[in-house]
């Protein structure tokens, strides 16, 4: 529900703060008083195109702020959450829009900057605006199917799920067909490359192992001569290790003759041990760095083949094994012929049948709901003096190319204004007055099944009066028991039905013209309705008639 509206520097409105409540609110005033400015300002807040012409002459920018109280389960919460916006439970939703005199504009939801597109989406969930030139609401056939589904409480989820499953199965089939077509053209290429990869039989990590082993063996080739020389110095009867041992044996016989000789013997023993360890390590190094020309050549041949094949397929050597498996699978699919394709075709056919079944059930539900909706609207036409008119909800099958998650139906509201006249789309009716009443009848019928939280009717009673205006007022009052309604009206019968009444008027101070809006108390309200009845000069009879209208409301 719209609770407040603050307007700053919009056309003739300098500063205006309005508070709203539940029920039916009427906005009246003389022609040219500025009622359209008020709606333009609200439209700006709801995401309408930001026109710099809305900025009051002399001001730098226009600003409009609208506040809403919404139930905890309102769908707007999910929309805000999807877009990363916060809405605290129990807190009002505040939307704000500014437009500069140079044309730049900004939009905010709960003081968080948003795009104009998101603001329009948010605004569409908060307020419905209905008027004879409104091509977004009931006159827009694109929304008729959703309105019918809402009226009939039709669950479209099964059809949507079936559509998703069918499209997924069909996409899988199309991909498989494309892959097989491509693979068939590449059969010979695949056979050659699979054989080449399988003959080489690459393994993951093999290239690194070969490179390390090759580098080690190449080191061995460079160090072999030096290692042999070192080994020659240590080994043999004349080697360093043999001489150390011989010296230790001789010193052992003398060690008891002096403490220093004993220490020298200990040092020689340690040297013998260290030299022995050096001998073992040299032997181990020699074995690790053993150089085998034939083995080195085989390693290099294998390594170069791996790297060449990797360059050919533009992959890393470690990925050759996975590539071999992938190409083998592609070749196997070709060799298997159409067996896999047949399974996918069967799955797609089954999924299509599931969607068609769900869509057919959806169509039946819509046909039944259309009959109920047509009857509900027909019951509203006679009181609105549209006795000769007829209304129908056309539910037609669409071509397969137009099917979607919402089913296979095109839904459009159609009318025939006179007996025997053909039905035509609701948006193409000629008479503005008749169109207004059709919209009201349809809205009343739809609202019986639940409607928007806030609805605005812009001069929906234009061109009618007397009993028809009274019937319009009664239906607006009925609607207001289920939703908040604001009506811009010239009809005293409609204004008398309102729970709240605001007067829109211009004022002049000699230099500046301003538009203002103020709430009316009971006496002021009776005077305004009397003016609407009598015109410029308010008579006592008009005041008496106004009192009777208010008493009867």
pLDDT digits (tens, 9 = 90+) for 259-315: 887 777 788 778 778 877 777 776 666 666 565 677 778 878 888 888 898 899 889
- Predicted pLDDT at 348: 95
Q: Are 143 and 137 in contact (CB under 8 A)?
A: yes
Strand partners, 8: 15, 63
Longest CA–CA span in the chain (Å) reads 153
Q: Which is it for strands 24-28 and 500-508: parallel, antiparallel or unpaired?
A: parallel
The DSSP result for 212-256, as a single string, is: HHHHHHHHHHHHHHHHHHHHHHHSSTTSHHHHHHHHHHHHHHHGG
Q: Are 519 and 502 in contact (CB under 8 A)?
A: yes
Q: Residue 51 in 3-state DSSP?
A: coil
Strand partners, 411: 395
Which of the 8 DSSP states describes residue 117?
H
- Predicted pLDDT at 537: 83
Q: Residue 109 in 3-state DSSP?
A: strand
In the chain, what percentage of residues exceed pLDDT 90?
A: 34
The mean pLDDT of 226-239, rounded to a whole number, is 63
- Predicted pLDDT at 459: 81
- Predicted pLDDT at 492: 93
Q: Give me the helices (H) in 402-516, please.
A: 432-447, 466-479, 492-496
Q: Which is it for strands 24-28 and 424-425: parallel, antiparallel or unpaired?
A: unpaired
- Domains (range + CATH), the chain: 2-132+432-519 (3.40.50.300), 187-335 (no CATH)
- Interatomic CA distance for residues 497 and 26, integer angstroms: 8
Is a pLDDT exceeding 60 seen at residue 13? yes
Q: Are 221 and 296 in contact (CB under 8 A)?
A: yes
- Interatomic CA distance for residues 213 and 290, integer angstroms: 11
Could you read off the pLDDT of 44-80 as tens digits, one per residue?
999 888 888 899 998 999 999 999 998 877 778 888 8
Q: Are 28 and 520 in contact (CB under 8 A)?
A: no
For 115, residues 6+ apart whose C-beta sits below 8 A from its C-beta are 107
Q: Which is it for strands 390-397 and 409-416: parallel, antiparallel or unpaired?
A: antiparallel
Could you read off the pLDDT of 506-551 as tens digits, one per residue?
888 777 888 899 999 999 999 999 999 887 788 889 899 999 999 8
- Interatomic CA distance for residues 480 and 1, integer angstroms: 11
13-27, 129-143, 251-265, 498-512: the lowest-pLDDT one: 129-143
- Interatomic CA distance for residues 420 and 442, integer angstroms: 21
Which of the 8 DSSP states describes residue 505?
E
- pLDDT band per the 50, 70, 90 thresholds, residue 338: low
Q: Which is it for strands 2-10 and 13-19: parallel, antiparallel or unpaired?
A: antiparallel
Q: Residue 510 in 3-state DSSP?
A: coil
**Burial classification of residue 506, based on how many CB atoms lie within 10 Å of its CB (0-12 exposed, 13-18 middle, 19 or more buried):** middle
106-120, 343-357, 445-459: the lowest-pLDDT one: 445-459
Q: Which helix (H) or strand (E) holds 210?
A: helix 206-234
Specify the higher pLDDT residue, 5 or 204.
Answer: 5
Is a pLDDT exceeding 70 seen at residue 225? no
Q: Which helix (H) or strand (E) holds 412?
A: strand 409-416
- Interatomic CA distance for residues 316 and 302, integer angstroms: 15
**Burial classification of residue 94, based on how many CB atoms lie within 10 Å of its CB (0-12 exposed, 13-18 middle, 19 or more buried):** middle
Q: Are 165 and 284 in contact (CB under 8 A)?
A: no
Q: Are 131 and 418 in contact (CB under 8 A)?
A: no
Specify the higher pLDDT residue, 157 or 290.
Answer: 157
The mean pLDDT of 135-151, rounded to a whole number, is 79
- pLDDT band per the 50, 70, 90 thresholds, residue 16: very high
Instruction: At 71, give phi and psi (nearest 5°).
Output: -65, 155
- Interatomic CA distance for residues 20 and 202, integer angstroms: 78
Q: Are 501 and 528 in contact (CB under 8 A)?
A: yes
Could you read off the pLDDT of 423-474 as tens digits, one per residue?
988 767 645 667 777 888 888 888 755 456 788 888 877 777 788 888 889 9
- pLDDT band per the 50, 70, 90 thresholds, residue 154: very high
For 225, residues 6+ apart whose C-beta sits below 8 A from its C-beta are none
For 173, residues 6+ apart whose C-beta sits below 8 A from its C-beta are 341, 344, 345, 347, 348
**Burial classification of residue 221, based on how many CB atoms lie within 10 Å of its CB (0-12 exposed, 13-18 middle, 19 or more buried):** middle
- pLDDT band per the 50, 70, 90 thresholds, residue 91: confident
Q: Residue 163 in 3-state DSSP?
A: helix
Q: Which helix (H) or strand (E) holds 204?
A: none
Q: Are 95 and 109 in contact (CB under 8 A)?
A: yes
- Interatomic CA distance for residues 330 and 184, integer angstroms: 9
- Interatomic CA distance for residues 415 and 404, integer angstroms: 27
- Interatomic CA distance for residues 132 and 220, integer angstroms: 96
- Predicted pLDDT at 145: 92
Could you read off the pLDDT of 186-224 as tens digits, one per residue?
778 888 888 888 888 888 888 888 888 777 776 665 656
Strand partners, 392: 414
Q: Are 494 and 26 in contact (CB under 8 A)?
A: yes
b (16+ CB within 10 A) / e for 436-469: bbbbbbbbbbbbebebbbbbbbbbbbbebeeebb
- Predicted pLDDT at 169: 96
- Predicted pLDDT at 137: 61
Dihedral, CA of residue 218, residue 223, residue 224 and residue 227, to nearest 10: -150
- Predicted pLDDT at 307: 87
Could you read off the pLDDT of 244-255 as tens digits, one per residue?
777 777 777 777
- Predicted pLDDT at 206: 84
CB atoms within 10 A of CB 163: 23
Which of the 8 DSSP states describes residue 55?
B
């Amino acid at each position: 529900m719209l609770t407040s509206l603050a307007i700053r520097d919009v056309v003739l409105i300098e500063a205006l703060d309005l508070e709203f409540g539940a029920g039916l609110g009427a906005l009246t005033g003389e022609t040219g008083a500025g009622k359209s400015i008020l709606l333009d300002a609200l439209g700006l807040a709801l995401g309408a195109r930001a026109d710099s012409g809305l900025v009051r002459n002399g001001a730098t920018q226009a600003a409009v702020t609208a506040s809403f109280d919404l139930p905890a389960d309102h769908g707007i919460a999910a929309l805000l959450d999807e877009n990363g916006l916060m809405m605290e439970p129990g807190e009002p939703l505040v939307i704000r829009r500014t437009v500069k005199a140079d044309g730049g504009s900004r939009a905010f939801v709960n003081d968080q900057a948003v795009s104009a597109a998101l603001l329009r989406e948010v605004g569409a969930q908060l307020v419905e605006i209905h008027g004879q030139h409104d091509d977004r609401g009931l006159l827009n056939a694109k929304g008729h199917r959703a309105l019918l589904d809402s009226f009939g409480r039709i669950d479209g989820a099964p059809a949507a799920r079936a559509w998703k499953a069918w499209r997924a199965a069909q996409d899988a089939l199309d991909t498989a067909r494309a892959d097989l077509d491509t693979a068939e053209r590449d059969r010979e290429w695949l056979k050659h490359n699979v054989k080449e990869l399988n003959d080489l039989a690459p393994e993951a990590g093999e290239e690194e192992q070969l490179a390390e082993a090759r580098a080690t063996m190449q080191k061995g080739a460079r160090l072999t001569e030096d290692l042999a020389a070192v080994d020659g110095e240590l080994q043999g009867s004349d080697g360093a290790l043999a001489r150390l041992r011989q010296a230790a044996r001789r010193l052992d016989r003398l060690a008891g003759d002096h403490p220093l000789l004993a220490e020298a013997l200990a040092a020689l023993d340690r040297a013998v041990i260290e030299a022995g360890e050096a001998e073992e390590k040299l032997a181990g190094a020699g074995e690790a760095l053993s150089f085998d020309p034939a083995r080195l050549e085989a390693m290099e041949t294998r390594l170069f083949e791996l790297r060449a094949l990797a360059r050919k397929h533009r992959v890393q050597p470690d990925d050759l094994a996975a590539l071999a498996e992938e190409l083998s699978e592609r070749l196997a699919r070709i060799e298997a012929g159409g067996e896999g394709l047949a399974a996918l075709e069967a799955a797609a056919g089954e999924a299509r049948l599931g969607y068609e079944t769900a869509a057919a059930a959806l169509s039946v539900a819509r046909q039944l709901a259309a009959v109920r909706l047509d009857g509900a609207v027909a019951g509203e036409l006679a009181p609105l003096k549209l006795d000769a008119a007829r209304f129908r909800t056309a539910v037609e099958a669409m071509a397969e190319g137009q099917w979607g998650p919402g089913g296979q139906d095109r839904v459009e509201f159609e009318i025939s204004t006179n007996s025997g006249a053909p039905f035509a789309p609701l948006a193409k009716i000629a008479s503005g007055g008749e169109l207004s009443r059709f919209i009201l009848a349809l809205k009343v019928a739809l609202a019986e099944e639940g409607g928007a939280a806030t609805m605005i009717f812009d001069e929906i009673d234009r061109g009618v009066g007397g009993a028809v205006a009274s019937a319009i007022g009664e239906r607006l009052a009925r609607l207001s028991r289920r939703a908040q309604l604001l009506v811009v009206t010239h009809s005293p019968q409609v204004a008398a039905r309102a729970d709240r009444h605001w007067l829109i008027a211009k004022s002049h101070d000699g230099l500046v013209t301003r538009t203002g809006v103020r709430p009316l108390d009971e006496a002021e309200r009776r005077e305004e309705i009397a003016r609407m009845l009598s015109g410029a000069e308010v008579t006592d009879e008009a005041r008496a008639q106004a009192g009777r209208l208010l008493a009867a409301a």
